[in-house]
């Protein structure tokens, strides 16, 4: 995925090396993880692999705690508080006229 996005958007502006877990030892059949691992998986943490900047858009790829790869397209200007406040501001409500 990183190679494909690099062809499309150029070299990443930020890259992170994802460390692999060491292989199990000869007499080891399962790996025991600490509580931090399960908490991380429970909250849906992500590990970012690479990031590109394209105008206002930030493109991020990586892996989720459940082992799925992802691509995220984020436009920080469009999702800014000022812009969202404009979308969700209360409009003027018209009073209904009722005639009997």
CA 15 to CA 4: how far, in whole Å?
A: 15
Q: So where are the chain's domains?
A: 2-18+31-78
Is the sign of the CA dihedral 54, 57, 58, 59 positive or negative?
Answer: negative
From the CB of residue 49, how many other CB atoms can be counted at a distance below 10 Å?
Answer: 20
DSSP-assigned letter for residue 9: H
Query: Tell me, what's the pLDDT at 10?
Result: 92
**Tens digit of each residue's pLDDT, the chain (100 residues):** 889 999 999 999 999 887 777 888 888 888 777 777 667 666 667 788 999 998 888 999 988 877 788 898 988 778 777 777 877 777 766 677 777 7
Query: Tell me, what's the pLDDT at 13?
Result: 93
- 14: tokens are 């930020």
């Amino acid at each position: 995925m990183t190679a494909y996005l690099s062809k499309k958007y150029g070299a990443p502006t930020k890259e992170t090396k994802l460390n692999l877990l060491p292989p199990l030892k000869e007499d080891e059949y399962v790996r025991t993880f600490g509580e931090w691992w399960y908490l991380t998986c429970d909250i849906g943490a992500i590990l970012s692999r690479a990031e590109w900047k394209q105008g206002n858009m930030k493109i991020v790829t990586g892996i989720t705690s459940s082992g799925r790869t992802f691509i995220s397209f984020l436009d920080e200007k469009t999702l800014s508080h000022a812009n969202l406040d404009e979308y969700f501001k209360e409009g003027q409500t018209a009073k209904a006229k009722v005639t009997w």
